[in-house]
Amino acid sequence: MQRILVMGSSGSGKSTFSKRLSSITGIPMVSVDALFWKAGWIESGKEEFHARVGAAARQPRWIMDGNFTSHLVELRRDACDTLIWFDLPRATCMKGILTRVAKSYGRVRPEMAEGCPERIDLKFFYVWTFRERVRPKLLAYFEGLRPDQTFMAFTDRAQADRYLNELAAAPALASAH
């Protein structure tokens, strides 16, 4: 694993997982949110965002956290060697968002762009319809993976935690750090 794409609903635990995976493997984490947003929650222009994502995707090693299914998804999918999908229930994701807002409200999370403090935003509640509206698009997107790419799906956070714990305990990684 050198180029890992982590996708799933907001609140599913993508960023937390990606940070832990980066810590275990030493592979740098790239937040698509941080590439998209500018200070004050200003959206990047399409060309600017595409240039940022393209530059990140050309790096030899990354863990790229985020969906942005309307922007350069094929580039990211084609560049990754591993795709990890958080396919968690709606209630789990809603709880994740509410917990995150409660813990980080008013502060900029490490994976966000500078000047974008956590806030309550009704757009987050698209999570309620994610399984009906976005999930089918992601399933179609995953069909474009090549046979040489690894695909993993987690349906609960315990699976993701077990995976990370096993990876951290792997002798090859332990001797590398």
| Res 174: pLDDT | 47
**By the 8 A CB rule, do 154 and 85 touch?**
yes
Give the torsion through C-alpha atoms of 88, 91, 92, 97, to 10 deg: 120
CATH class in words for 3-151: alpha beta
Query: For the whole model, what pTM was predicted?
Result: 0.87
Domain positions in the chain are: 3-151
- pLDDT-based confidence at 86, cuts 50/70/90? very high
Model confidence pLDDT, tens digit, residues 47-61: 999 899 999 999 999
The C-alpha angle with vertex 69 and arms to 20 and 141, in degrees rounded to 5, equals 90
Model confidence pLDDT, tens digit, residues 113-170: 777 777 777 666 778 888 898 899 899 989 999 999 999 999 999 999 999 999 999 8
